[in-house]
Each structure stands twice: as structure tokens, then as C-alpha cells.
Structure 1
């Protein structure tokens, strides 16, 4: 099957998968809304303090001096432990020329036997000057253990105890780009334009983190359709190694995982019948996926010492609409990224692309072709795992 036939098949399946995404969000949003409100939006600090006390009594905490001064229930504590253990300085010459993809399976699989060979071929052919790697679970696990077990061990504990492949896949991509820098792309993506021609590499800039809008739902019904009013996708992004935006994302995942773990809910995801009360379950989107990924990026920008935005185009495609969405006390929030038709650059360091950027053929708009770089074909094999 050649690339064109593969792309055609992906496009035919696009509408079906998009529908499945909406249905999945609908199902999970109602069962996790209260949980998220308690655990992330307005935390029960007294309960978290009790969790922290229990955490300090564990053998891991008592026996490993590197756990001292940690508090995985506090985002800022974990964030500062990460940036202290892995000091960040911008890589000379730009983001490292690495491309990472991953295939998690019980046993290592030779690259020639991996799925989506035509998609993978686009990454290698379009970017011959980049180091291309398909990571195995064994490689990720070994790298994470070596990096975090004796520095920020709560991060390693999270990866080690995650009950689902999709959770490990999400968290692993943050960890591997944090340690190495480069481009992350899911296996079911195709590179439509060489990385050297992506926006951040074509302007005189020190941009070291690039993400893209996933959805921007200007509807009163948005809470029943998705977990965030405007969400950044995590199937592709690019980052310098040790970038603090990724440190913040990792810290968010650590907090969410420890809350779930100390509420005794991890086993719900390992039992064949789903186990326990489904109302206590939390969706992948909000645990390790694009929901919490978005939270980390927003928080990173809001906690920066300076906040300077450069908007490449002040026009917005929804400028004639009344924006619908939640109020927020944060200065940097979803409103600043709604209706993008061109990139927005924050502090000459973080770039957010319009949603066409990393989903070219899914949301093709000729006027935005200048900012189209890759296509996601939405195989979503992980649906089977979380049904």
C-alpha cells in the first residue's frame, strides 16, 4: 500500500474516529467532572494533606533519601525538583534534531514489523538530517529509571505504577522529550513538510517548545463534549530538552496519578470487569492526555516572570462570534488562543500553532496551508484498551 492509499484510508476513517472521540468525551466527561473538580480545579487540601502524611510513612519515602522534600500532591514542589535536577539552558542552534515515535508491546518488535510503514517513511524521507527512533517500552523504561529513580523518584514511581499502556505512552512521550529534546509524533501521523520548514525554524527566534490547538469548541455544550474549552493536542509536539514547560506538564501528571493512587483507584483499571464504581474513574484525557497536557502549558505561561506575546496575525476566524466558555482568574487562558489563523509566540520561547498545524488533512483550510506540517490519521488503537 503506497502513501496515497494509506492517506485515503485514513481520511475515510477520519469522520468515524472523530465521532468516536466525541462519544468517548461525552461518556468520560460526566463520570469524571466531579472527580476533576475535586482533584484539579478546587482541591480538597485537607484530604491531600492526609495523603501526604500517608505518603511520608511509606517504605519508599523512608528508605530513599531522594524522596526527602518531595510532595507529589503539590505541582510546584515537583516542578521545582525537576528543574533543579535538570537545569535548563537553550540548546545552541535550536531544538535537537531528534524524531521520536513509540510502539509499546510486551516484547520488542523489529522496526520493519511495526505498523504504519508508509507514515513512518514520511518522517525519515522528509527529515534526513534528523535522528529517527522508534522507542520500545523497554528503552523508555530503562531511560526513565536511570534519569529519575535517584533524582526525582516520584516521577519514576508514577511511570512504574501506571496500569494502562495508553497512560504509559502519554507519560513516556513527555519524559523522553524532556530528557532528549526533539519532535514527538504518534505512529499514525505523517510528515507533510520537512521540520526545517516548520514555522519556528523559519524565523529569527529562540523558540524551544511548539504545540498546536487540538479543538476550540465555541458552544454552550462544550462541557459535555470535552474536558477543556480549548485544548492543545499531544499526538505531536516539539521541545528542547529539560524545557520547563514539559517539567510543568510532568508535575501535573505526577499530582493526578498520586491522588488516584492514594484514593485506591488504580486497581479499577486492571480488573477485567472494570472494577469498582465507574463514577470514581478518571478519563485518560484528564490523567495523562491532552487535557492535563494543556493544563501544564497554561500554568507554565501563567507562572513565568514575564509574559510577552507575539501574534503573527491579529485576525481570528471567530472574530464575529460571541466567545462562549468559562471565566478564569488566570491572565493567560483559552481566550488568547481561540480562533487562531497563525502562530502565537510566548516569550520568544513557546509557540502555539493553529489547529491546522498538526492536523493538515483533517482540518484543511487553504488559507492556513502555510502553517500545515503534519497529519494525524487517528487510528486510536488505545480505544480498545479503555472501553
Structure 2
């Protein structure tokens, strides 16, 4: 027992001295400054060139419903967001066009570029046959009659005419055929005196004729290769209703469904069914409804500058159809140039010839 106590006492004294010494050494070791020397080499970062921003032709009016349409030679588009009350009060800063596919010619790309160059803040959208059908189904769900006519109508030019009215009626903006160039910024189209007026549609004279007397049809004609309107335009709604009714009427007259219509079945020219003539008549009818009086050639024949009648701004012949009106020098500037590259007239002429041969054969 005595031996154990002596050993314990000796070990205790040793531990009392060793433990503090050990702790001191640990502190000195872990807190010492590192020895000078070369730092380890870091790998040099490799610079990666930034990818160019993607360019698109079309921007979807309904995100998630339509996708941007790339083309073989993309055209840059303005920043998203339609500006209502930008260039023209109440009318969206947007240009609409359509094509069968996105495979466009160099000329067509150049014509598109003219709109974007003159109106850099505008959005631009090109719809193909497929995306146009989706657009109509989406925006006109409450008008099944419109969807039925557009879906089943087999004649391309009639569908193309109807589509332009439907696009602008739904979202507003400027419609332009693919073979039209913009010569003057849209912001400069409306004279100062009308800048604060409510404008439901902007149209231009294609044919400018004198009034032919009481009871005669309207002689003049507005072109439909370019026009502009706000969304839900009152005048454009009358145009759409007139076109849909006319197509149904012709189908019933031929005792066929709309899907079985052919160009040869049309009793009148395309311009009278869906084109500029029926658009002209419908726009004037909308003014009759608004003003309670007949509006005809007497109101706008030979105008030298834009004229607001009711809520429709009518442009002189030089504005949208300078060539058709002989390039008049006393009507201000040409706002657009129509290059007449469309092919529908060839199909129309062929259909008329077939109809003539059929009638002669049956005589």
C-alpha cells in the first residue's frame, strides 16, 4: 500500500508538469506563421467567347401558346411588349405578316427589314399556316363560327385575307403584306391635328374615283395590303362579320360545305369576297352605323392629305398605293411601297378560265 502511494504521488507530479508543457507546444505549433515559399499555381481560366443573342422573326402574342419562328435568315425583332398609344394613340406598336412557311426569299427578308429599320421600337410577328391556326383557335374561342370558317376554308387567298383581319382585330397593330416595304415611320403617318383623336382604323385609297350617283355601288376602294387598327376595332369587327357571312352565303348558294368550296364557285371576284372591296364596303358601313348617314366617294375622293371621317382615318392614294394612283405629287409622301409579288392573281385567273370553259361546255 505504501509503495502504491509513492508511485501515485510521483506520477501525479509528472503529469502536473507534462500536461501544461504539451498544451503550450500545441499552441505554438498551430499558430505559427507559415514558412515563406511559392504559392501553388492556379489554373489559368480560359476565356469563352459569348454566344450571340438569338434572333427571331416572330414573337408569340401568347407566351406558352406560340413559339418564336426561326427562319433561314433570322430578322431581329424589337423588345417585347406592345405599346398601346406609342407611335399612334391606341394602336399597338406591332407589325403583322404571314407566310405559308418560314422559308423566305432574300427580297422578302429585305422587305421585312424595312419595317424594322423604320420602326425600331416595334414588335414584329410572322405567322405561318400552322401558327396562324393556333392563333385563331386561341383568340376566337368565343366565336366558333369564325373558327369553323377559318379552319375549313380550303382556298388559300380567302384564308389569307380573313387572317389579316383576325390578327389585327385580336391584338391591334399594323398589317402588311409580305411584299410591302415601309418608306416612312408609322409614327409619322398620322397628322398632328389627329394625334389625340380616337382612331378605330387607318386605311388608304387604292382606287380613287368620283361618286357615280345615287343608288350606285361605291366606286373607290381601300387597299388591304396595309392597314392599322387598335385591338377590338369597331370598324374591323364589321369587316370580319361581313367576310364570314359572305363565305357562308357562297357555300350555301353552291349547296356545299365550306370545306368543299373552290375558286370556280365564286360568283364574284376574290376582292368582293374577302379582299379590299368587301373591306371597303364594310368600313363604310361601320361609319354609317356610327354617323347615321351614308359615307361614300363624295367624302374622300381626291383628298390631298389624310382625312378623319368618324373614327376612320383615310389616307390619300399616294400613301399606300402610289403606283396605282400614278404617283401624285400633291398628296404628300408615299408611306409604303407595294411590290406586287403576290401569286394569288394567277390562281384566280386560272379559276376564272376553268369556270368559263365549264360554262361554254355546258352551253
Q: How does 1:43-192 map to 2 (within 5 A)?
A: 91-93=84-86, 94=89, 95-104=91-100, 108-110=101-103, 113=105, 116-149=108-141, 151-192=142-183
Q: Which residue of 2 aligns with 1:241?
A: 231
Q: Which residue of 2 aligns with 1:6?
A: none
1:267/1:115 CA distance change after superposition, 3 Å: farther
Greater relative contact order (CA < 8 Å, ≥ 6 in sequence): 1
The Cα of 1:146 is off from its aligned counterpart by 1.5
Q: Distance in 1 between matches of 2:301 and 2:255?
A: 35
Listed as ranges, the gaps of 5+ residues in structure 2 are 1-82, 351-363
Number of aligned pairs?
A: 260
1:270/1:343 CA distance change after superposition, 3 Å: same
Q: Aligned to 1:351, what secondary structure does the other structure show? A: strand
Q: Distance in 1 between matches of 2:312 and 2:200?
A: 6
Q: Which has the larger radius of gyration?
A: 2
Q: Which residue of 2 aligns with 1:229?
A: 219
1:179/1:269 CA distance change after superposition, 3 Å: closer
Q: Distance in 2 between matches of 1:289 and 1:119?
A: 22
Question: 184, 205, 213: which one pairs with 1:193?
Answer: 184
The Cα of 1:263 is off from its aligned counterpart by 2.1
Q: Distance in 1 between matches of 2:255 and 2:268?
A: 9
The Cα of 1:121 is off from its aligned counterpart by 1.6
Listed as ranges, the gaps of 5+ residues in structure 1 are 1-89, 221-226, 308-329
The Cα of 1:208 is off from its aligned counterpart by 3.8
Q: Which residue of 1 aligns with 2:19?
A: none
- Normalised TM-score (structure 1): 0.61
1:266/1:232 CA distance change after superposition, 3 Å: farther
Q: Aligned to 2:341, what secondary structure does the other structure show? A: coil
Q: Which residue of 2 aligns with 1:357?
A: 319
The Cα of 1:161 is off from its aligned counterpart by 2.2
Runs of 4+ in structure 1 displaced over 4 angstroms? 90-93, 112-115, 200-203, 265-272
Q: Which residue of 1 aligns with 2:253?
A: 263
Q: Which residue of 1 aligns with 2:271?
A: 285
Q: Aligned to 1:99, what secondary structure does the other structure show? A: strand
The Cα of 1:333 is off from its aligned counterpart by 1.6
Q: In the alignment, is the contact (CA less than 8 A) between 2:155 and 2:261 conserved in 1? A: no
Q: Distance in 2 between matches of 1:121 and 1:352?
A: 26
Q: Distance in 1 between matches of 2:294 and 2:140?
A: 33
Establish whether residue 251 from structure 1 lines up as the match of residue 215 from structure 2.
no
Q: Aligned to 2:319, what secondary structure does the other structure show? A: coil
The Cα of 1:124 is off from its aligned counterpart by 1.3
Q: Which residue of 2 aligns with 1:75?
A: none
